[in-house]
Every structure is written in structure tokens, then in C-alpha cells.
Homo-oligomer: A and B are copies of this chain.
Amino acid sequence: MMRTHYCGLLTEAQIDQTVTLCGWVHRRRDHGGVIFLDMRDRDGLVQVVIDPDTPEAFATADKVRSEFVLKITGRVRKRYEGTENANMVSGQIEVLGKEIEVLASSETPPFPLNDENTTISEDIRLKYRFLDIRRPEMLDRLRFRSKVTNLIRNYLDDHGFLDVETPILTRATPEGARDYLVPSRVSNGSFYALPQSPQLFKQLLMVGGIDRYYQIAKCFRDEDLRADRQPEFTQIDVETSFLNDDEIMDLMEGMTTKMFKDLLNIEFGGKFQKMPYSEAMRDYASDKPDLRIPLKLVDVADLMQSVEFKVFAGPAKDPKGRVAALRVPNANTLSRSQIDDYTKFVGIYGAKGLAYIKVNELEKGIEGLQSPIVKFIEPIVLQLLERVGAQNGDIVFFGADKAKIVNDALGALRVKIGHDLKLSTCEWAPLWVVDFPMFEETDDGRWTSVHHPFTLPKSSVEDVKNNPGDALSVAYDMVLNGTEIGGGSLRIHTLEMQKAIFEALGISDEEAEDKFSFLLDALKYGAPPHGGLAFGLDRLVMLMTGAQSIRDVIAFPKTKTAECPLTEAPAPVEANQLRDLGIRLREQKKQEA
């Protein structure tokens, strides 16, 4: 046996025992003629002391450097009084090293692993990921992720879910993002697509009677990468038959609650609120409201329609416009430059300005207000302040523009100000957002799915055909602290409804048959009512560990340009590989021409 204990787990319980440890030299110090080695393994650090009484071990210890891999045998003893380290599990003891074997040496690492204060560029971290994950914070995140998936699997297993694998080499799926394609060698000219999600397969499993399915599934989207996206990401994918939306939400809420309780000792306290999409947009200007912040928007378009000031009156009269107010209590002390910063901030979202009223002394009427806009809206300003419930000391911000701009700008401002002014009323605020619209209108007047074309509407087939814009879906998103961590819906399980939805989306019978014939087929042979949901695992772990980037919770992530600095993937391939696949590069073509 190579070792008897993990370094980081040694305590006073092992005092006087002879132990053998394996691990890395985290730090080496000479002090008073003896050598101190901080030895590190997955479970933490322990201090090893080697003194000249054991000349062979001492000579070896003298030569080792940071990140050497050692096997050390020695005796555990209590540290001298005053030298204990309360920050380490093993801080009460040390190991008097008797034998040292160098299992592997190390060059000087490209960045220090024993200095938490060094900032290392992410490119270097990713290129030397095998060193980066030695750092306790990375190791702890990967360990936490493993605990999360284990807990989820056992929860779902306990609730009768079967873990079923769906294919990675498959047909293009309908999520709407770009597919990664894999050329077929056997059928040159044909391509597999990597799945954007197992959506259709999990529905087929329900048609197949699996009843309760889950999978922690890799999904792929060839998108231009934003800060928080990866070309491949991991989804906790769930589907059930014969359950209604409330039952599905209950199951998933139970799982989330258990996860936070068992792994972080966080209690959410009671059932999650279920908020209709319309209410979320009205009050929070967001379909993923951060309920830690108690501020709400108030619509004031009806009042603003009558004012002469076009900045307000225009959007107020526009059916696609929105005019809303955001009252922030006790914030009339915000300085000119703070307000300028917020004005710039909402500019990111397309807002052309940020009107405000400081409510200093309401009892003085208009005189008691401080604002560049009061003069333009004098006739209605007091009525307006009453509507928003303004009180002395408040500041009220306004947004007036196309609804999307107002929502994006004021929705973000609400959260930002809330955090800046420390208005949070709690640390964790989960909720369900429900009753989403089925469709949204594109700029060219067509309808697209808000979720996906397999989402069950609350309306009848007739209503969907006649008034797609009014149709709501039986969809639900789990939102935590302003982040959507999961979402799903009941699915269509009859051919008639599925065809009506395709029709509303302008998907022709031919296109439907071409892309989804197997789903349409499946709906002919007794498809059960079914529905499910998917959580984004990466984002969930990021939220739970407080990581700053999704890349910090993935062992081997890609950069924003979808590259892996470690393996240098993607990379050129041999000409004969392309020939086997029946493809050539476009550049070659040009050169030939």
C-alpha cells in the first residue's frame, strides 16, 4: 500500500502513529536547521518536519522543490504550543518525516500554486489546466460538482426515474441554434448533428412508456460564445408521463431544496412562489426576476399619454411602448455622478436617458421635488407620485421607450440599484415563473416559439389557430436570484395540436415531415400526456459555488472562441481523413482554381 492517510485529514487522532503520505510539495522552508514541507493532496495540507537526525531523508528533503511528488513516512506528533494553525484540519499536528521517496520531480511551474494572491491569466490557467486544478479552490469546485450530480441522481432514482442515455450522433434538433455537424464516412455527403438537447428523444422515451426519465446530458450549440456559454454544456434533463405541471414543479422543487439544504445548509423556507410571466414582466420587467430586491416597477403610461413631453407621451401611446416608474426608497441622496453612472448603465440596454424625480418634501407639492423633468409633466406629476407610493426621501426613475428597451433597462437597473444600496431582503430567492406566452412576434410579423414547438398550450386547437398571440403555454422556469436555472413545460401529445402549432409557426407539412417525421409518427400510436424540464448544470454549480465564470466549474472548458488552449483543439487534420469523409476544405478549392 502506497499511503496510509490523506495529508489533509490527519488530526490529533493519529498522534504517535506512523503514517505514510503521498502528495505534492506545496511549500518548502528551512528554519532553524530543520526543513518544513507543507505536503498537499486532495484533502488539504499537512506540515512535515525533517531534521538532520535522519540524514538520508534530510538530504532528499533538501533537494525537493515545489510540486515534487513525494511519498513520506513519519510519525504524527502534536505541534509545539504556539505553532498550531487553526485554519487547517491538520493544524494541531505535524509529521516528523523519517523516510522520503521522490515519486516525481517537477520543473518550476508556470505559475505558483502556493500563493493565493497571484492573479493568473485565464489563458495560462487553461493551457496548464492540469496544474490549475491542483489549486484547492478549483479542486473544491469540481468536488462540489460531483456531489451535486450524485445527489441529483439519487434523488431522481429514489423518485422512480430511470437514467437513459440518448444519442450524441444524431439528427439536427429543433432548438434553433446552429448545430455541430459530423460528416459520415459511410454515407458521404450526409452528416450527423450533435444534439442541442435530448428534447425529442426524451419525448420518444415517454411514448415508449419509460414513465420517468432523467439524464445528465451533454448538449451542444455552435453559437457565438458569450461570457457564460460553452460549445458543450451539461443539462440535467428530466421527463415524466401522466404528471401535471404542478406535480412536476413539486418534484423539481424538492430536488433543488434538498440540494441546497444538504450541500450548502441553506433553507429556502417554504414552497416556491409561482408568478405568471405577465406579472413578472409588469412588476420586475424580467422573466427571471431577482426577488431578493424588493423594488417593483409601476406602469404609468395612462398618465403619461396626456403630457406634451414626447419622450413620455410617444411611448405611452405606442401599443408596443412602455412607460414605467421605479421607486427607490430613501435614495434621494444619490449624487449627480451616481445618477450619471446609472444613466450610462441603462444606455447599455438601449435606453436614451434616465429621467428621475427626487422626492424631498412631498408636502410642498411640486416645489418639494427635485428633477429635470417635472416641468414637462407638471399636470400629472403628483397623481403619478401617488400611484407609485412615493414618500419623502425617495427617488423615482422613469423609463419610456419600446417595451423591450424599457424592460431590459429598468429590469437591470432595479437589480443593480438594489445591490448597490444593499436592499436585498434575503440571500436566496427562488420562484417559478409560469404562464408564458406560446409565441412571440418576429420583426417581420411571423410567430416563433417562446420555448419550443413541442410546448403544450393552455388553449384549444381552435384558439391557437385563431389567436396565436393570446395563447399561453404550460411552461415553467425555475428562477433563483435572477438567474434561470431550469425550465420546462408540458408537451403536446396529440397529432392534431402538434400540427396546429407547426402551422402557426409557418412550418410547412413538408418541412415538419422532413425534420420531425419520427415525432409525428410517435404521436399516432398512443402518446401519453407528458412533460419535463431541464436544468443547466454548469450554471447551477456556478451559482452554488459562487464561481465567477462558468469555466471555473468545468474541468476542461473552451475559451470564448471555442478553443481548448490545453489540447489546441480544434486542429487541422490529414488530407486522407477528409477524403474518407467525402469533404474538402473551401480554401483548397480556391487554391486549385
Identify the A interface with B (CB < 8 A).
1-3, 22, 24, 40-42, 67-69, 103-107, 109, 128-134, 139, 142-143, 145-146, 149-150, 153-154, 157, 162-172, 178-194, 200-201, 204-205, 207-211, 218, 220, 222, 231-232, 234, 241-244, 247, 493-494, 517-518, 521-529, 554-556, 558, 561-564, 566-573, 577-587, 589
**Are B582 and A582 within 8 A (Cβ)?**
no
Partner of A183, one of B169, B181, B232: B181
List 12 contacting pairs A-B, 8 Å CB cutoff, sorted by A: A68-B526, A129-B204, A129-B208, A130-B207, A165-B234, A169-B570, A171-B564, A171-B571, A185-B222, A186-B562, A187-B563, A189-B572
**Are A579 and B573 within 8 A (Cβ)?**
no
Chain B residues with Cβ below 8 Å from A24 are 209, 526, 528
**Are B167 and A556 within 8 A (Cβ)?**
yes
**Are A583 and B584 within 8 A (Cβ)?**
yes
- Nearest chain B CB to A133 CB, angstrom units: 4
Partner of A526, one of B106, B165, B172: B106
- Apart from A168-B218, A187-B561, A189-B585, 15 more pairs, CB < 8 Å: A2-B244, A22-B242, A41-B209, A42-B210, A67-B525, A104-B528, A133-B209, A154-B154, A164-B555, A168-B194, A169-B570, A171-B569, A192-B570, A200-B567, A582-B587
Q: A208-B134, A218-B218 are in contact. Are A569 and B104 (CB under 8 A)?
A: no
Chain B residues with Cβ below 8 Å from A183 are 181, 183, 583
Most buried by B among A41, A192, A517, A556: A192
Distance, CA A150 to CA B151, complexed state (A): 11
Chain B residues with Cβ below 8 Å from A103 are 493, 528-529
**Are A146 and B169 within 8 A (Cβ)?**
no
**Are B170 and A567 within 8 A (Cβ)?**
yes
Most buried by B among A146, A211, A563, A585: A146
Distance, CA A201 to CA B133, complexed state (A): 12
Q: A525-B130, A570-B187 are in contact. Are A169 and B109 (CB under 8 A)?
A: no
Which 8 residue pairs of A and B lie closest in terms of their CB atoms, listed nearest first?
A106-B526, A133-B208, A190-B570, A171-B567, A184-B570, A171-B569, A146-B162, A42-B211
**Are B554 and A165 within 8 A (Cβ)?**
yes
Partner of A577, one of B165, B181, B517: B181
**Are A164 and B181 within 8 A (Cβ)?**
no
Distance, CA A67 to CA B526, complexed state (A): 6
Q: A231-B169, A587-B189 are in contact. Are A139 and B182 (CB under 8 A)?
A: no
Chain B residues with Cβ below 8 Å from A171 are 564, 567-571
Chain B residues with Cβ below 8 Å from A234 are 165
**Are A181 and B526 within 8 A (Cβ)?**
no
Chain B residues with Cβ below 8 Å from A105 are 526
Q: A182-B194, A189-B587 are in contact. Are A146 and B130 (CB under 8 A)?
A: no
Distance, CA A528 to CA B493, complexed state (A): 54
**Are A130 and B204 within 8 A (Cβ)?**
yes
Chain B residues with Cβ below 8 Å from A169 are 180, 220, 231-232, 558, 562, 569-570
Chain B residues with Cβ below 8 Å from A68 are 526
Q: A163-B149, A567-B170 are in contact. Are A201 and B556 (CB under 8 A)?
A: yes
**Are B150 and A586 within 8 A (Cβ)?**
no
**Are A132 and B208 within 8 A (Cβ)?**
yes
Chain B residues with Cβ below 8 Å from A567 are 170-171, 200, 518
- Nearest chain B CB to A187 CB, angstrom units: 6
- Nearest chain B CB to A110 CB, angstrom units: 8
Chain B residues with Cβ below 8 Å from A154 are 150, 154
Partner of A208, one of B130, B200, B584: B130
**Are A193 and B584 within 8 A (Cβ)?**
no
Identity of the chain B residue whose Cβ is nearest the Cβ of A66 in the assembled complex: B526
Distance, CA A458 to CA B468, complexed state (A): 71
Chain B residues with Cβ below 8 Å from A232 are 167-169
Chain B residues with Cβ below 8 Å from A142 are 162, 164, 210
Partner of A586, one of B132, B524, B582: B582
Q: A165-B555, A494-B104, A586-B582 are in contact. Are A571 and B172 (CB under 8 A)?
A: yes
Distance, CA A567 to CA B162, complexed state (A): 22
Distance, CA A388 to CA B211, complexed state (A): 58
Chain B residues with Cβ below 8 Å from A164 are 142, 145-146, 555
**Are B166 and A146 within 8 A (Cβ)?**
no
**Are B181 and A573 within 8 A (Cβ)?**
yes
**Are B104 and A526 within 8 A (Cβ)?**
yes
Chain B residues with Cβ below 8 Å from A204 are 129-130, 556, 566
Q: A146-B164, A171-B569 are in contact. Are A181 and B581 (CB under 8 A)?
A: yes
- Nearest chain B CB to A580 CB, angstrom units: 7
Chain B residues with Cβ below 8 Å from A244 are 1-2
Chain B residues with Cβ below 8 Å from A582 are 585-587
- Nearest chain B CB to A238 CB, angstrom units: 14
Q: A24-B209, A68-B526 are in contact. Are A555 and B166 (CB under 8 A)?
A: yes
Distance, CA A589 to CA B189, complexed state (A): 12
Identity of the chain B residue whose Cβ is nearest the Cβ of A185 in the assembled complex: B222
- Nearest chain B CB to A170 CB, angstrom units: 5
